[in-house]
């Protein structure tokens, strides 16, 4: 009997020492140090880059469960030496689970250049919104590279029941006012305003009007639709660009110089 008690005690001690190997719930959030505040850590790296006449950055989206394609993207982009940073424009995860975020970051952290993540509608499922805030930082943020200001925000209106809070146009307008001295501005979010299933239709025209108010805004950049599109759907003629999903093995390169830009698609 004593022998069995001893064996049970050893087993319990072993299990206790291995507790970090187990995830008790899919919704549990356990993050390593390199998995926290990713944007807050990478933005200073971006803003410290040497000034160049021409800026090139990459826009991708909808990594979701496409881990092999994400890994191949990282391998491909690391072979280039002309990219300053990467923007992952939402739907980092598929079901908002922390493990999904971790699996994507496991690949993205291998990039030789910094990257930032933007929150997508799938990232707000389950407790994904909390995961995003812990892993990446605030949902609305802005940063600078060269003479270009990049303003990123949450446009996932459906996930809050179209209650008028997303996108936060007051915050956006304040950021655009503060960016008036920059030569170039890009506004980046996951859901484009003309997606009437997921973007609040009551905020569509106010969003477009807000961007049109500022002449230094070059384009509005998005993901979400899983296929490439570029259009000028509003009267001011500003371009709205949607990048394809990583699943399609494609990324977009945004090149900026003076007060001009071009966007090219690259397959990998």
Residue-wise pLDDT for 170-183, tens only, equals: 999 999 999 999 99
Residue-wise pLDDT for 129-158, tens only, equals: 999 999 999 999 999 999 999 999 999 999
Q: What is the arithmetic mean of pLDDT over 81-96?
A: 99
Rounded to whole angstroms, the Cα distance separating 162 from 156 reads 9
pLDDT bracket for residue 20 (50, 70, 90) = very low
- pLDDT value of residue 263: 99
Domain ranges of the chain: 26-267
Q: In the predicted model, what is the mean pLDDT of the chain?
A: 93
Q: Is the pLDDT of residue 41 over 70?
A: yes
Query: What pTM was estimated for this model as a whole?
Result: 0.90
pLDDT > 70 fraction of the chain, expressed in percent and rounded: 90
Phi, psi of 79 (to 5 degrees): -85, -10
Q: Which CATH class is domain 26-267?
A: alpha beta
- pLDDT value of residue 15: 44
H helices of the chain, in order, are 2-17, 38-47, 67-77, 98-108, 128-135, 169-178, 201-212
Q: Is the pLDDT of residue 26 over 90?
A: no
Residue-wise pLDDT for 230-266, tens only, equals: 999 999 999 999 999 999 999 999 999 999 999 999 9
Residue (of 136, 129, 217, 208) closest to 175 by Cα position = 217
Residue-wise pLDDT for 195-229, tens only, equals: 999 999 999 999 999 999 999 999 999 999 999 99
Q: Is the pLDDT of residue 5 over 80?
A: no
- pLDDT value of residue 260: 98
- Residue 60, H or E segment: strand 54-60
pLDDT bracket for residue 28 (50, 70, 90) = confident
51: DSSP letter: P
């Amino acid at each position: 009997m004593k022998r069995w008690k001893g064996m049970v005690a050893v087993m319990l001690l072993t299990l206790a020492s291995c507790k970090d190997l187990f995830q008790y719930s899919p919704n549990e959030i356990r993050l390593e140090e390199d998995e926290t505040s990713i944007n807050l850590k990478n933005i200073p790296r971006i803003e410290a880059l040497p000034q160049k006449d021409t800026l090139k950055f990459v826009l991708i989206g909808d990594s979701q469960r496409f881990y092999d394609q994400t890994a191949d993207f990282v391998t491909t982009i690391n072979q280039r030496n002309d990219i300053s940073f990467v923007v992952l424009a939402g739907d980092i995860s598929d079901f908002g689970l922390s493990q999904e975020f971790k699996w994507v970051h496991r690949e993205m952290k291998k990039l030789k250049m910094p990257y930032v993540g933007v929150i997508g509608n799938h990232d707000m499922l389950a407790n994904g919104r909390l995961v995003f805030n812990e892993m990446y930082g605030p949902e609305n943020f802005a940063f600078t590279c060269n003479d270009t200001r990049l303003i990123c925000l949450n446009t996932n209106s459906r996930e809050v029941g179209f209650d008028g809070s997303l996108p936060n146009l007051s915050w956006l307008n304040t950021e655009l006012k503060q960016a008036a001295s920059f030569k170039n501005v890009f506004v980046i979010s996951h859901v484009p305003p003309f997606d009437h299933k997921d973007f609040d239709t009551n905020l569509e025209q106010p969003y477009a009007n807000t961007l049109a108010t500022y002449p230094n805004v070059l384009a509005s950049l998005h993901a979400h639709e899983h296929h490439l599109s570029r259009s000028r759907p509003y009267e001011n003629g500003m371009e709205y660009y949607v990048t394809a999903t990583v699943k399609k093995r494609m990324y977009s390169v945004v090149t900026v110089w003076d007060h001009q830009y071009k966007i090219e698609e690259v397959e990998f």
